[in-house]
Amino acid sequence: MEKFTTTTGVAAALPMANIDTDKIIPARFLKTIKRTGLGVHLFDTLRYDSEGKERSDFVLNREPFRHAEILIAHENFGCGSSREHAPWALLDFGIRCIIAPDFADIFHTNCFKNGILPVRLPRAVCDQLMEDSKMGGNARVTVDLVRQVVVRPNGEEIAFEIDPFRKHLLLNGLDDIGQTLQHAPKIDEFEAKRAKTQDWMPVISGT
């Protein structure tokens, strides 16, 4: 998993509440188990019309937001079914940080497992950032996980809270597998000892 320390760029505003995971990545695209290739279908029903053509009024179809790494939304982002394809699609598109007043619990957890930073900020602050985004390429926002601040284009720093353990995981690029592999030497040592005392059981090596 790619580490997250800080990101700077334009922030795409999506002024909608209750954006569910089916809106993020429709169910018909869930056949794959790969984490790549889903970005093109991110917000599919919002980005494309019935003929598959881009909707010119959707933010991610306009410059400079086609390359946005930060997304700003309203309440209850990521509600609905608990599909991990939702953060996969966001990450494959290039989104590394989502700022919203709150998130659905399972989606919130899945973000951390995939290298995306979900930042909770009050609705009024989200609205300020959305207003900033109207300046387009001149509205560069910085999200600094180390210092736990969002820096507006005017230089104002807005602090945010994050669970210390989850912060550690993002800063070090550790997903569930990465956390386990940190203990690989001890796991191998345990398996080697078990092989001697319980030689009737198969040996599972972490290396």
Convert the pLDDT of each residue in 16-27 to its tens digit: 999 999 999 999
Stated as kind and residue range, the H or E segment containing 9 is strand 6-14
pTM score, two decimals?
0.86
> What's the pLDDT tens digit per position in 27-83?
999 988 888 899 999 999 999 999 999 999 999 999 999 999 999 999 999 999 989
Region 156-185 average pLDDT: 83
Q: According to the model, what pLDDT value does residue 45 have?
A: 96
Task: Enumerate the β-bridge partners of residue 123.
Answer: none
| Lateral strand order in the sheet of 149-151 | 117-120, 97-100, 70-73, 6-14, 140-144, 149-151, 157-159
